[in-house]
Every structure is written in structure tokens, then in C-alpha cells.
A and B are shown apart, each in its own frame.
Chain A
Amino acid sequence: MNTELADGPIEALTFDLYGETFALEAGLVREVLDLLPETGVPGAPAFVNAVINFRGRVIPLIDLRVAFDMDAREPTIDSRIVVIEHALDGEPTLIGLRADKVHEVTTIHRDITEEAPRVGLRWRADFIRLLARRDGDVIVIPDLDQIFAARGQSTATVTPIHASQA
């Protein structure tokens, strides 16, 4: 998962979080759901504060906005849950990601992508695998391994603490 992307173009599902566009490799995505009744998990961090019933399984619902220091928004008619399959501790696990709006699957060519810059970013640089330029805008391809390992703890300013935690 965290291995270097192949040099070929990336087929990616794009979605919005707080006005920013994110992309996930389409191969990871299992399903895009309308909002479902959620069950809050008391005592769990805001990053993963709920579980949902996805086809008879109880899967965690992750809020990437926490990892990227974005405020939570009230769900709208466009809100969706993107269900992905991702290896957690070596086990393929189904995980739901909150999304404010889901767009199309698009092809991201390698020549428009670049590594996240070290400075000038509000976000933890290690949470971003690649940035892609498109129509003067930027698509963020998050590094889910890093985000999940850090349990979505965002504040990049206190990196040393996170480094020791990771």
C-alpha cells in the first residue's frame, strides 16, 4: 500500500473535504454510501468517533478532516461515506471515510504530481503522499498508512511528539 506508486497514471476517486479535493486510488474503494445511521463510540478520538453497519459488518468511520485540521461541517445532501479496504496491522480492514462530496473517478498523470513541499503547508507533510495540479487547483493524495498509524493526530507543529508516538 505504502510502496511507491507505479509510474503509470493513477486511477483515482476524487472527493471534497472542507473545500479541498482529495483523491484515493480507485482500487482501494469498495463502495460509496449515502449517510447511514452512525453509532458513536464514547471515549474514542474525534478522528474515529463512530462505527457504522456496512453490509452486516461493523466498520469504523474515519473523519479525515480531523487529520487535516478542518472543522467538522453539518452533513449535507451531498455527504457520503467512502468505504475502502486498507491493511491495518497486516489485516485487510474495511474502513469508512467521511466525505463532504464525492466526484468522479479521474486519471491523474504522473507528470502533474509532485511530492508535498516541506514548507508552506498547513498540514502534516507526512500525511500527504502526493499533490497533483489540476486546472489551477490542487488534489491531495493522502498517505493513509501514516494517517492511520498516527490515529489522525494532526497538529504538524508538534511533530516530535508524533514521531515518538509513531
Chain B
Amino acid sequence: MSGQDPVEIFRQEAQELFEDIEQGLLDLAHRPGDRDLVDAVFRGLHTLKGSGAMFGFDALAAFTHHCETAFDRVRKGEVAATSELVGAVLACQDHMRALAEGRPAEQADGDALLAELHRVVASAGGGEAAPAPAPAVPGLNTWRVKFSLPANALINGARPLPLLDELRELGECTVVAVTDAVPDFDALVPTQCHLAWDVTLVTQHGRDAIEDVFIFVIDDMTLDIQDMTAAPPEAVEQAVVETAPAAVAAQAAAPEAANEGRAAKAGGDTVRVPAERLDEMMDRVGELVIAQSRLKQLAASSSDIALRAVAEEIERLASEMRDTMMVVRMVPIAQLFGRFRRLIHDLARDTGKTIELSTEGEATELDKTVIERLADPLIHLIRNSADHGLETPEQRIASGKPAAGHIVLAARQSGAEVVITITDDGRGVDRARVRAKAEENGLIQPGQVLSDNELLQLIFAPGFSTAAAITNLSGRGVGMDVVKKTIEGLRGAIEITSTPGHGSVVSLRIPLTLAIIDGLLVRVGTSRYVIPLSSVEECVELSIEQDIRSAGRSLITLRDQLVPFIRLRNMFKTGLAPDPHQKIVVVSTGQERVGLVVDQILGDHQTVIKPLSPFHADVGAFSGATILGDGGVALILDIGSLVAAGQRQDAQLRAAG
């Protein structure tokens, strides 16, 4: 736990900050007036600067300082958050990322970025009328500010004195320390903050300016600001009573705000755990389940009621623990989708197209490792949509569409799979061009008859690219085939549909997790095997007559179609007599089907996939193993190779017959 490199911790923290800042900036481009967003970005930059300096990232801290200063002016309302400014800060942010990750970053680049930033800030400040800095208050107001910090504030690095100094900068202050909460000397913990402050401030600034002083600590502290201007100073006591309802209202509002803050935090309140540790935990749970099953056996043979009760309790806990472990690895896909907003921003800039991105189903959960491996393929697909799919605004208007192109990124769960679709409302795939290109590249014969689906699938063929001009974004002819490979590596599938003139839809079907599959547990001889449920089509009985009749040809008729079947008992050489009521599990890989004859179907089983050692990698029929509830091991059948074996057998039979 303690072995983590502090620099690495900072980088992780910085990574999160960058994401927050980036999201804030992108939101700001849509809602330039949103004060909360401005504050959030500012806070992010400030924290980044602070921690950067603390961990020795001086260049980063210095660079960030300039951005922070620029944003401070936005926050104070001196400068409007124009899209130009947002763009400039985004560019700076990339530079900061490079600095944080220790990549070589040219000083000159940084200077150029800063020069651009300053220019933009100057033009934004000078050009547009900046929003009035706070409500213009003529004359002086008197405020009574009461605040206290949580006891652990000092440990967390909050310091009351600079806060008081900042208040003093706003105007004339009378500061009274409230010492009511200070305990007896014996009970005094010197590292805790026991003081509260009661400040009477005479200033021309408004409430916002005072709240700004506490911007970094406001989440945890209690703050009460009262406007005393109306009340003559000698009637302070009176005023407190008179304004009590207001104070109550303010106090009532404060916890609400705090709650909001907490709710927002709860969404991102996560613990970072290396994936190996989760795997280790998974192993431990596996052990627990085995020990539990032994206990269960012992308890069953004992007459001790108390022992049985405990055994049952532990059985329940172990199975709950198992279920919990299954979901621990899942993270919402929002994490992934969030990254693409920046991509769209950049793509719009580079292509000169107006692009809108909307996302759906961000709460859909996927295994963490799957999410990471999906990032690159999705970037490719989105680039393709933006670059090839969407037209320029002029073309769009000419064909009667809104000028802004629309890309929808959607995710939804469907059984044990997640379906991710990338939909654009662009020009659609140009079939004639695809065909011409494929013929030119020798992928198909000239004039070869292809179904529409086959034609579209050509896009994923290696070395295929329809872009007439190779742009910076896509069209290098690598990409779509890599996308397809990656998706297939995740045991997923990719499909494309397209309507000329109305856009294309690319759908990815991805299993929820690489670590867990839903399987059908079957028995062959004395061993148990798992068949991935996603490839199971149906189960039928192999009657004795059928069994005898089909002894020679191993084919059954299923809804007027001949399906070859494999007797797993023979294939696995169990050497045992078959059960009287054998079952056929019909499995398929998309197009081809094959029946697997098993002795018994034991039921469905959610399964943690364990890899097989290199010793068994070449056996072929198995894609992994899993540990069953009783501690036994079941092998997971590799449907691809079994179907291939079935097809071979079928072909042999046809050749022979």
C-alpha cells in the first residue's frame, strides 16, 4: 500500500484533474456564463499548480500558473469565457499533460501557447463587454461573516490566516476569534482547529467576493454571511435577531449545497485499486468457496445443529461475496465516452465541419479492461464518421440537412453483451466507391456478386481505404481492419449498416467482461464442461432411436436443416457408456451450427474464466477453465474450434457419402 511512488500518485491525480478541467472547459464552450463551471475549472487548475509544485513538477506549476491567472480573470468577470479562450486553454492543457507525464515538451511551444493565451485573454477582455464584476454596489456595505473550519482542517492544509488576510484585502475588518469551542488545556489537541471567527467587514464588494475568499474550503466549513448595511452598528444585537430568518434560510441552504456537493462527489468517489489485486481477491474468493464446500460436507454429516447453521450462513456469505466480486470490476462506460468530447472538438476544428456529439446509455457498465481496450477502436470509428461520414456544412445545407452533423454514441446492455453504436447522419457509405476500391485492391473479382452486407464488410478488410485524399485524421488504410481485430479479440462482433444520404450505423457487440462468462454447465462422462451461453442456440434430446440410427452419419434434422453433431464422449475418450438420455446442445458461430452431444445438462453457470497454462494452449478444444462451486475445475469449450471440427467431420462424411 505504502510502496507507491509519490510521483506516480501525483500523475494519477493529475490525470483526474486534467479530465475534470477538460470536461469543465468543454461544458463551458456551451454555457459560457456558468459560474460554477468557471469555478470548477479554476479550482482544478489551482490544485494542479499546488500539487505540481509539491511533487517537484516546477515547469508544470509555472506553466499552470499562467492558465490559472487567465482563468482567474474569467472568474472575476473581467474576461468572457469565449470559445477562443476555451480553445486556447485546452491547447495549454495538452502541454500541461505532457509536462505532467514527463514527456519532452519544448519550452518554445509552451511560450507560444502562453502568448496565444494572453492574446486571447486580452481580446476577450477588451473586445466584448465583460459581464459586470459582481453587482455594482455604490458605497460601502457592512457584512458580518462568521466562519469556522472543521477540526481536521489544519491537517488537510487549510490555513485560516491567509483567509483572514484575504478578507482584510476586501475592506476594513474587525476580527473576533470565537473561542467557545476551545477545550481545556489537558484536552487540547494542538493540531486541531478549535477556533471560529466572527468578522465585521466594511467593503464595497458584494457577497460573491466574500464567498470567493473561501472557495477552496467552502465544502467542509460552516460559513454565515449577513448583510448588516441596513442596521446601524450599535444595533448589532438587534440586527442579528431581526435577520434571524434570513440567517436560518442561509443555514438551511448551506447543508443543501453541501449535500449537492457530496452527491456529486459520490459519483466520482472511487478507490483506485490495481487490477492484479482484484484478481488476487478473486482467487481468495475461489478458495473460500472451496473451503466452504468442505465445511458444508462436514456439517451435512454432523448432527450438530449449530454447526449446520454456521455452515449455511457461510455458504450464503461466500456466494454473496462471489457475486460482489463479479461486479467490482465493472465501470460505467461514461468514463470512455467522456474522452470523445475532446476528440469531437478537435475533429470539428480540423475538418471545418460543425459536429455535435450526443451520448446515450452512459451508465452501462463494462469490465474495466474491456473499456480500456475499446478506446482505440472507438476513436477510429468516430474519426471515420466525422471525416468520411459527415459532409461539410455547405453540402449538408444543399441536401436539406441541418448544417451541424450529428454523431450519436450509444451503449446499452443486451443480455451478457453490451451493444455500442456509433450513428452519424452523414452521407452514408458510397457502395460504388467501396466496390471500385475493393476491385482495385484485388479484394474482390470485378463484377463479383456480393450481398449488401458483404460489400459493407469489405470496409474492414486489411489495406482497404476509400479516402481519395489521405487526411491527417483517417484514410491511411490501417484502422478499420485493426478495429475489427481488436473487437474480435474482445470476443465481440462488429456490424455496419448504412443508408445512402442518411448516414451509417456501426454497432459493436462486446461481452460484458473478459473475466466472466455466462455458461451452460454440462457433463460428459464424469467431467464437467462449460459451453459459453452466448453461442448456445438450443438444447434438444437425442433419443435412443435417433442415436442408433445416426450412429453412422452424425447428423440430425433440426427444423428442416441438417446439423452435424459431435459426440463429445467419443472426442474426449471418456471410455464410459453413454447416459440413456443424452442431450444435444446446438451451438453456432454466426453462420455455422453444430450439435454437441453431452450426457447431461447441469444448468447455467456464471463463470470466472481462468486461463490455461501454456502446456494446454495447443490442445485447442478449450479456451480456458473455471472453478465450480464445489471447488472442482471445469474446462470451457472453445466453440470456434469445435464448430470447425464439426464442419470438417461433415465435409468428410459428405465426401465419403
Write the chain A residue with the least CB distance to B613.
A60
Rounded to whole angstroms, the CA-CA distance of A93 and B615 in the bound complex is 11
B62 at the interface (CB under 8 A from A): no
With A55-B287, A95-B613 in contact, do A43 and B620 touch (Cβ < 8 Å)?
A: yes
A118 at the interface (CB under 8 A from B): no
Contact status A59-B621, CB under 8 Å: no
Residues of A within 8 A of B613 (CB): 51, 59-60, 88, 93, 95
Contact status B573-A48, CB under 8 Å: no
Interface of chain A residues 23 through 72 with chain B (CB within 8 A): 37, 39-44, 48, 51-53, 55-60, 62
Q: Contact check: which of A44, A52, A95, A151 meets B633 at CB < 8 Å?
A: A52
Interface string of B609-635 (1 = CB under 8 A from A): 011111110011110011100011111
Residues of A within 8 A of B615 (CB): 44, 48, 60, 62, 88, 148, 151
Contact status B283-A39, CB under 8 Å: no
Contact status A48-B616, CB under 8 Å: yes
Contact status A58-B527, CB under 8 Å: no
A89 at the interface (CB under 8 A from B): yes
Distance between B183 CB and nearest chain A CB, rounded to angstroms: 51
Contact status B627-A53, CB under 8 Å: yes
Write the chain B residue with the least CB distance to A59.
B613
Contact status B610-A58, CB under 8 Å: yes
Contact status B631-A37, CB under 8 Å: yes
With A42-B572, A43-B620, A56-B283 in contact, do A51 and B614 touch (Cβ < 8 Å)?
A: no
Contact status B625-A89, CB under 8 Å: no
Residues of A within 8 A of B612 (CB): 41, 51, 58, 60
Interface string of B96-124 (1 = CB under 8 A from A): 00000000000000000000000000000
Contact status A93-B610, CB under 8 Å: no
Contact status B616-A44, CB under 8 Å: yes
Rounded to whole angstroms, the CA-CA distance of A41 and B286 in the bound complex is 21
Interface string of B565-583 (1 = CB under 8 A from A): 0000001111000000000
Contact status A41-B616, CB under 8 Å: yes
Contact status B621-A42, CB under 8 Å: yes
Residues of B within 8 A of A39 (CB): 527, 625, 632-635
Rounded to whole angstroms, the CA-CA distance of A151 and B571 in the bound complex is 22
Contact status A53-B621, CB under 8 Å: no
By size class, the interface of chain A is 20 to 34
B455 at the interface (CB under 8 A from A): no
Contact status A53-B635, CB under 8 Å: no
B290 at the interface (CB under 8 A from A): yes
Residues of B within 8 A of A51 (CB): 612-613, 616, 625, 633, 635
Q: Contact check: which of A58, A60, A93, A148 meets B627 at CB < 8 Å?
A: A58
Write the chain A residue with the least CB distance to B624.
A58
B374 at the interface (CB under 8 A from A): no
Residues of B within 8 A of A151 (CB): 615
Write the chain A residue with the least CB distance to B571.
A42
Interface string of B598-613 (1 = CB under 8 A from A): 0000000000001111
Contact status A56-B621, CB under 8 Å: no
Q: Contact check: which of B283, B611, B622 meets A41 at CB < 8 Å?
A: B622
Residues of A within 8 A of B614 (CB): 88-89, 91, 93
Q: Indicate the member of B285, B572, B633, B634 with the most A CB atoms within 10 Å.
A: B633
Residues of A within 8 A of B349 (CB): none
Distance between A130 CB and nearest chain B CB, rounded to angstroms: 25
Residues of B within 8 A of A41 (CB): 612, 616, 619, 622, 635
Residues of A within 8 A of B285 (CB): 56
Contact status B286-A55, CB under 8 Å: yes
Write the chain B residue with the least CB distance to A93.
B613
Rounded to whole angstroms, the CA-CA distance of A48 and B282 in the bound complex is 26
Interface of chain B residues 53 through 109 with chain A (CB within 8 A): none
Rounded to whole angstroms, the CA-CA distance of A55 and B288 in the bound complex is 9
B284 at the interface (CB under 8 A from A): yes
Residues of A within 8 A of B286 (CB): 53, 55-57
Rounded to whole angstroms, the CA-CA distance of A55 and B290 in the bound complex is 9
Write the chain A residue with the least CB distance to B611.
A58
Rounded to whole angstroms, the CA-CA distance of A148 and B613 in the bound complex is 12
Write the chain A residue with the least CB distance to B627.
A53
Distance between B230 CB and nearest chain A CB, rounded to angstroms: 71
Q: Indicate the member of B571, B616, B621, B634 with the most A CB atoms within 10 Å.
A: B616
Residues of A within 8 A of B626 (CB): 58
Rounded to whole angstroms, the CA-CA distance of A59 and B633 in the bound complex is 10
Contact status A53-B571, CB under 8 Å: no
Q: Indicate the member of A37, A43, A62 with the most B CB atoms within 10 Å.
A: A43
Beyond A37-B631, A60-B613, A60-B616, list 20 extra A-B contacts (CB 8 Å).
Answer: A39-B625, A39-B632, A41-B635, A42-B527, A42-B571, A42-B573, A42-B619, A43-B619, A44-B619, A51-B613, A51-B633, A55-B283, A55-B287, A56-B284, A56-B285, A57-B286, A58-B610, A58-B625, A58-B626, A59-B613
25 of the cross-chain contacts (CB-CB < 8 Å) are A39-B527, A39-B632, A39-B633, A39-B635, A41-B612, A42-B572, A42-B574, A43-B619, A43-B620, A43-B621, A44-B615, A48-B615, A51-B612, A51-B635, A53-B286, A53-B290, A53-B627, A55-B283, A56-B284, A56-B627, A58-B625, A58-B627, A60-B616, A91-B614, A93-B613
9 residue pairs, one from A and one from B, having the closest CB atoms:
A56-B286, A56-B283, A42-B572, A39-B633, A58-B625, A58-B610, A60-B613, A48-B615, A60-B615
A positions within 8 Å CB-CB of B: 37, 39-44, 48, 51-53, 55-60, 62, 88-89, 91, 93, 95, 148, 151
